[in-house]
Amino acid sequence: MSQKETIAILEAINENWKQTFELSWEQTRYICYIQALSQGAKFEKPSDLVRFNWDVDDNNVINSDNNFIERELNTLEWAKAALNITN
């Protein structure tokens, strides 16, 4: 397996974990939203209850965590080091 193939696989695994993480938080937020509505709370949408950094705001600009890219690069560097991959 080449270095590029290994990096592509690691990036795909990382994206899958990220999507799984986001989905679980979306489910949690939706459950809390329904619970709050049943108690008489006035929310228009679940994101009014809790905002996540992957939510899109009203201007269709993605809210991003400034350290997100740095954390992703550090994770990739750690994985490369663990697999003894050199650039």
Sign of CA dihedral 73, 77, 82, 87: positive
pTM: 0.56
Residues 6+ apart with CB under 8 A from 52: 22, 25, 26, 29
User: How sure is the predictor about 27, in pLDDT bands with cuts at 50, 70 and 90?
Assistant: very high
pLDDT averaged over every residue in the chain: 80
Structure tokens at 32: 């809390």
